[in-house]
Copies of this chain bind each other. A is one copy, B any other.
Amino acid sequence: MENTGQGLHARVLESLGPEITAGEHSPGTVLRTDELAQRFDVSRTVIREAIRVLESMHLVESRRRVGVTVRPTEEWNVFDPRVIRWRLAGADRPRQLRSLTVLRCAIEPAAAGLAARHATPDQCAALTEHAMGMVATSRGQQLEAYLVHDTAFHRTLLTASGNEMFARLNDVVAAILTGRTHHHVMFTDPDPAAVTLHVQVAEAVRTGDAARAEELTREITVGAMAELDILAP
């Protein structure tokens, strides 16, 4: 239960954060540090440190004499990994998943194009290796093993793009892929066409064909959007 034992402030954060992102405290609600200290049975010091982090995420705003007020959703730092995680774990998980998928579909083709230019031999090898792994595990209900290779493939692709911003989105893509397998209840084996596309992307990156890598990746992402009933762009 307590996987958050890294300090009391972390424990408070992992309680308050999800509460806020889940909308349990509607925007405008005021939280008082004294009450929170009493509720969590910790000192105000600990509460204040947690509040400071929530404030850095633009989830709350602390003002004198008034207290800690919850900010409206539009002001949240929706790119903060923790905010993403909390929202994915909360009630509006579907909407968050759609937002992230749209983002992913804008990013990954561009990342693939860059990877075709910048990927190191090691990265090319890793890509083909994971693509082969996907092929090997694409039949016979080996969904977990398939997911591992799928995640590794996209992580390698994003890293190989050489763009630090893209690289930092691998957690997002991993969350999407994991979510699809675990939550969306994939009983059936993966789409063979998608598996083939991954192999072809690895090949395009290896041969340095940026345009082809981008287009093939776009096909993959279009498929990902279709799974969530998002209009293709």
Q: A residues engaging B (CB < 8 A)?
A: 9, 45, 48-49, 52-53, 56-57, 73-74, 77-82, 99-100, 102-103, 105-107, 109-111, 113-114, 117, 163-168, 210-211, 214, 231, 233
Contacts and interface: CB of A to CB of B under 8 A. Distances in A.
Contacts of A107: 103, 106-107
A168 B77 contact: yes
A16 B112 CA distance: 36
Contact of A168 (B49, B78, B110, B167): B78
A75 B82 CA distance: 14
Q: Which of A78, A107, A164 counts the most B-chain CB atoms under 10 A from its CB?
A: A164
A23 to B, nearest CB: 14
A49 to B, nearest CB: 5
Chain B CB count within 10 A is highest, among A49, A52, A100, A117, for A52
As for how many copies of this chain the complex holds, the number is 2
B167 A117 contact: no
A52 B163 contact: no
B231 A117 contact: yes
A99 B53 contact: no
Contact of A53 (B52, B77, B163): B52
Contacts of A102: 110, 114, 163, 165-166
Contacts of A45: 45, 48
Contacts of A52: 9, 49, 52-53
Task: Name which of A99, A165, A210 has the most chain B CB atoms within 10 A of its CB.
Answer: A165
